[in-house]
Amino acid sequence: MAREVVNQDEPVVLGEEIQNVRLITLNRPRQLNVISSPVVSLLAKYLEKWEEDDNAKLILIKGAGRAFSAGGDLKMFYDGRTSKDSCLEVVYRMYWLCHHIHSYKKTQVSLVHGISMGGGASLMIPMKFSVVTEKTVFSTPEASIGFHTDCGFSFIHSRLPGRLGEFLALTGARLNGKELVAAGLATHFVPSEKMAELEKRLISLNTGDENVVKSAIEEFSEEVQLDEGSVLNKKLVIDECFSKDSVSEIIKSFEAQAGKEGNGWISPVLKGLKRSSPTGLTITLRSVREGRKQTLAECLKKEFRLTINILRTTISGDVYEGIRALTIDKDNAPKWDPPTLDQVDNGKVDLVFLPFEEDLELQIPDKDELRWNGKYENSVYASFDVADEVK
Which residues are catalytically annotated?
Answer: 72, 119, 142, 150
Q: Tell me which amino acid residue 26 is.
A: L
State the Cα–Cα distance between residues 390 and 162, nearest whole angstrom: 6
- Left if phi > 0, otherwise alpha if psi is -120 to 50, otherwise beta: which for 150? beta
Least Cα distance to 130 among 375, 300, 368 occurs for: 375
Q: Which of 106, 5, 105, 24 lies closest to 64 in space, CA to CA?
A: 24
DSSP sequence for 193-214: GGHHHHHHHHHHH----HHHHH
Distance in Å from the first CA to the final CA of the chain: 53
- C-alpha 364/C-alpha 105 separation (Å) is 16
Q: How far is CA 99 from CA 155, 176, 312, in A?
A: 11, 25, 23
Closest CA to 382 of 176, 185, 228, 200: 185
Question: DSSP string spanning 230-296?
Answer: -GGGGHHHHHHHTTSSSHHHHHHHHHHHHTSTT-TTHHHHHHHHHHS-HHHHHHHHHHHHHHTTS-H
Residue from 111, 107, 141, 105 nearest 124 by CA:
111
- How many H helices and E strands in the chain? 15, 11
Q: Which residues pair with 16 in a beta bridge?
A: 5, 23
Secondary structure percentages of the chain, helix, strand, coil, to 5: 50, 10, 40
Strand, coil or helix: 23: strand
Inter-residue contact 266 to 134 (CB < 8 Å): no
Report d(CA 344, CA 277) in Å as an integer. Answer: 10
Q: How far apart are CA 198 and CA 261, in angstroms?
A: 43
Interatomic CA distance for residues 159 and 148, integer angstroms: 17
In degrees, rounded to 5, the angle at the alpha carbon of residue 89 between the alpha carbons of residues 87 and 91 is 70
